[in-house]
Amino acid sequence: MQKIKDLLDKQIVQKLFLCFWMYAFLGWCYEVFLEVVVYRWGFHNRGEMYGPYCPVYGVGALLFLLFFSRLMKKKDNKWLNIAKPLLIFLGCMTVATIVELIATYIFEFTTGAWPWQTYARYKYNFQARIALSTSIRFGLGGMAFMYLVQPFYDRLLAKPKKKTLNIITLVVFGLLLFDLIMTILFKYN
C-alpha cells in the first residue's frame, strides 16, 4: 500500500498516463502521415476510437520505458555505451513487434479484423499481422523515442506543479473516457 502511495505522491502514475496518451497521439500522427503523405491513400482516422490516437503506440512506449529505462541510465561502462544503441534498437524492434502481433489477435477477437492487414503486401510478413520492414521502422522509432522524445517529455512533465498535473491528468482521463463510451455506443454497435 505504501508503494502505491509513493507512486502517486511522486506522480509517476499521472506522468505515465500522460506519456501513454502523448505517444498514442504521436502514433496516430505517424500513421496519418504515412497514409496521406507517403502512400497517398488519403485521410482516414487510423485510431480505433473517435479521437486522434492509436493506443497500441502508447502500450509500446510504456513497455519501452519499462524494459529500457535502466539501460538508458547506465553510463559507467564503456563497452555498454558503445553497444547500447544496437541493444535499444533490437529491443524496441522486438517489443513493438510482439505488441503489434498481440494487438492483431485482440482486434480480430473484438472486431473481426485488424487495421494493418496491408502487411500481406510486404515480402517478409507473418499472416499479414507483422512484417520485417515495419519491425525495423519500429526499432528505429524506438531509438528516437528513447534518445530524443522521452527526455523531452520528462522535462515537459517535470514543469507543472503537482495540482496542475493532477488537473491535466483528470481532464485527459475524462475526455478519453467520454471517447471510449461514445466509441462503444456508436462505432461498434
Give pLDDT tens digits for 10-41.
678 888 999 999 999 998 998 888 888 887 77
Within-domain flag for 126: yes
Domain holding 127, by residue range, is: 2-184
The answer to whether residues 14 and 162 touch, using CB atoms and an 8 Å cutoff, is no
Does the pLDDT value for residue 115 go beyond 70? yes
For the chain, what is the domain count?
A: 1
Q: Is residue 109 part of a domain?
A: yes
Q: Judge whether 189 lies within some domain.
A: no
Residue 113 placed within a domain: yes
pLDDT at 94: 96
pLDDT at 124: 92
- Between CA 163 and CA 169, with CA 164 as vertex, the angle to 5 degrees is 100
Closest CA to 129 of 110, 143, 139, 115: 115
Is 33 within a domain? yes
Q: What is the pLDDT of residue 135?
A: 94
- In this structure, which amino acid lies at residue 59? V
In terms of pLDDT, which residue wins out, 45 or 159?
159
**pLDDT confidence bin for 170, thresholds 50/70/90:** very high
Element (H, E) at 126: strand 125-126
Place of cell 502523448: 22
Over range 107-112, report the average pLDDT. Answer: 83
Which alpha helices (H) appear in the chain, and where do they start and end? 2-9, 12-33, 55-73, 78-111, 132-144, 150-158, 162-182
The angle formed by the CA atoms of residues 82, 155 and 25, to the nearest 5 degrees, is 90
How many CB atoms within 10 Å of residue 49? 18
**Mean pLDDT of all residues belonging to the chain:** 86
Q: Which residues of 3-17 are buried (b: 16+ CB within 10 A; e: fewer)?
A: eeeeeeeebeebbbb
Q: What's the farthest any 2 CA atoms get from each other in the chain? A: 56
Q: What is the DSSP letter of 53?
A: -
pLDDT at position 6 is: 58
pLDDT tens for each residue of 34-74: 888 887 777 777 677 788 988 889 999 999 999 998 888 87
* Global pTM exceeds 0.75: yes
pLDDT digits (tens, 9 = 90+) for 70-107: 888 877 777 777 888 999 999 999 999 999 999 989 88
Give me the pLDDT at residue 4, please. 57
Q: Which three cell numbers stand for residue 27?
A: 502514433
- Is residue 7 very low, low, confident or very high in pLDDT (cuts 50, 70, 90)? low
Looking at per-residue pLDDT, the higher value among 189 and 184 belongs to 184
Cβ atoms of 68 and 88 closer than 8 Å = yes
